[in-house]
A and B are shown apart, each in its own frame.
Chain A
Amino acid sequence: QVQLQQWGTGLLKTSETLSLTCGVYGGSFSGDYWSWIRQSPGKGLEWIGEINRSGSTNYNPSLKSRVTISIDTSKEQFSLKLNSVTAADTAVYYCARDRGAQGLDSWGQGTQVTVSS
């Protein structure tokens, strides 16, 4: 069973760049999409974007101008960068494996990201 472990900066100031990384352990890194999702009290669960092993990405149009998702296959890690953050980006951020019709079947533990002025 694949396990995801994520890490990154939890406290940011307005206009800074959010940076999180997710490591994939105990399973194949290929053949799936690797996603970032966030959860805030005001907006619930929100899909941020995804990447596959080849580096092909899809982003939520509402965040696309500020988001970059990248992958390092040698380390079996993928990363999220969200620039120009505001208080509206305060949320718990999760990484997850997306198996399409089979759903998001493995999740990271979540990282609370708080943006303050």
Chain B
Amino acid sequence: QSVLTQPPSASATPGQTVTISCSGSSSNIGGSTVKWYQQLPGTAPKLLIYNNDERPSGVPDRFSGSKSGTSASLAISGLQSEDEADYYCAAWDDRLSGPVFGGGTKLTVL
């Protein structure tokens, strides 16, 4: 059971926009910044979003993040087939004194 809650799956067709939610509590999302990671099959997770809404160099601006209170969202616009992957949210947790993760959302591009 993951500390942060994500829907297990999401799907959309190419070109559409999909949003993935992430719910936590005051000890993690509510008091910290949110990160999002993309994991392609058989590879390590890759940082997609940090500081709630900032993109590392090289990440397309089709990916955007937001946070409100104890929840966060990742939006992917102009969906492409190569976006098919697992997406994880993460945040620092004061009780753990370390990062906690969501259970992951498997995105299918129909």
Chains A and B bind each other = yes
Q: How many residues does chain B have at the interface if contact means C-beta atoms less than 8 Å apart?
A: 23
How far apart are A59's CB and chain B's nearest CB, in angstroms?
A: 8
Residues of B within 8 A of A14 (CB): none
Residue from B44, B88, B97 within 8 A of A107 (CB atoms) = B44
The winner among B43, B101, B104 for most chain A CB atoms within 10 A is B101
Cα separation A107 to B48 with both chains bound (whole Å): 13
Q: Is B2 an interface residue (CB 8 A)?
A: yes
- B37 near A104 (CB under 8 angstroms)? yes
| With known contacts A50-B98, A60-B98, A44–B103 Cβ distance under 8 A | yes
Interface residues of A in 99-117 (CB under 8 A from B): 99, 101-105, 107-110
Interface residues of B in 37-57 (CB under 8 A from A): 37, 43-47, 50-51, 56
Q: Is B96 an interface residue (CB 8 A)?
A: yes
Residue from A47, A99, A101, A102 within 8 A of B96 (CB atoms) = A47
The winner among B37, B47, B90 for most chain A CB atoms within 10 A is B47
Cα separation A76 to B50 with both chains bound (whole Å): 26
Residue from A45, A99, A109 within 8 A of B88 (CB atoms) = A45
Interface residues of A in 21-70 (CB under 8 A from B): 43-47, 49-50, 58, 60-61
